[in-house]
Homo-oligomer: A and B are copies of this chain.
């Protein structure tokens, strides 16, 4: 399969970590978001939502939307699972993951920031304050939803909430978010980063990474 990806895209980070964890081989197809490649007609044929990640299966079927792709990966490659077996526990993991996937990321991706600046006339500083505001909001909720004393968000192994957290932490650090209110999330992020599958999914490990 092929993964359309951009090194710094946090939704791409999530999918890369999931594929790595499950030992699924894939071809990396870099889409340069900063150069606007996702907006071109060629890529719109791949993904009408004009975003990454998109996952192209071996028969040419293209799956879009990271949350849908992650559920697909977990259904087709169940080992190790990204979600527990019990429905209530699954809802709790998905709910914590959604603090990132729904309450932070959709507000902070590139097209939103461009709209705030280009259409609404907001400054770079105000745009960064916007990003930090929603990260703080989402992390505050997430920290209350995860378990207080497990190695990872909900137990002793990585799940969908951990993958979402470690991906968002990349952006939190990139935009100098004050992490002091989130010691529990920092602790989990540190644990996640010890795992090779996570490390190989991070931006700096990708073929299209550029020097910072």
Question: How far is it, in angstroms, between the C-alpha of A103 and the C-alpha of B11 when the chains are bound?
Answer: 13
Assess A91 versus B63: contact at CB under 8 Å? Given A49-B141, A140-B48, A145-B48.
Answer: yes
A68 x B145 contact (CB < 8 A)? no
Interface residues of A, count at CB 8 A: 44
Assess A67 versus B102: contact at CB under 8 Å? Given A72-B87, A115-B133.
Answer: yes
Which residues of the partner chain B approach A141 to less than 8 Å between Cβ atoms?
Answer: 48-50
Which residues of the partner chain B approach A65 to less than 8 Å between Cβ atoms?
Answer: 94-95, 98-99, 102
A212 interfacial by beta-carbon distance below 8 Å? no
A107 x B112 contact (CB < 8 A)? yes
B67 x A90 contact (CB < 8 A)? no
CB distance from A60 to the nearest CB of B (A): 11
Using CB atoms, name the residue of chain B closest to A133.
Answer: B115
A57 x B106 contact (CB < 8 A)? no
Assess A63 versus B95: contact at CB under 8 Å? Given A48-B141, A120-B122, A145-B48.
Answer: yes
Identical chains in the assembly: 2
Interface residues in A168-206 by Cβ distance below 8 A to B read none
A34 interfacial by beta-carbon distance below 8 Å? no
The interface bits of chain A over 91-109 (1 if a CB of B lies within 8 angstroms of the residue's CB, else 0) are 1101101110111011100
Which residues of the partner chain B approach A119 to less than 8 Å between Cβ atoms?
Answer: 133
Using CB atoms, name the residue of chain B closest to A102.
Answer: B106
Q: Out of B101, B120, B140, which one reaches A120, CB within 8 Å?
A: B120
Question: How far is it, in angstroms, between the C-alpha of A94 and the C-alpha of B49 when the chains are bound?
Answer: 14
B48 x A75 contact (CB < 8 A)? no
The interface bits of chain A over 121-146 (1 if a CB of B lies within 8 angstroms of the residue's CB, else 0) are 01000100010010000001100110
CB distance from A162 to the nearest CB of B (A): 16
A64 interfacial by beta-carbon distance below 8 Å? yes
Q: Which 3 A-B pairs have the closest CB atoms?
A: A68-B94, A48-B144, A65-B98
A67-B94, A68-B91, A71-B94 are known contacts; what are 6 more A-B pairs with Cβ within 8 Å? A61-B88, A65-B99, A67-B101, A76-B87, A102-B105, A116-B120
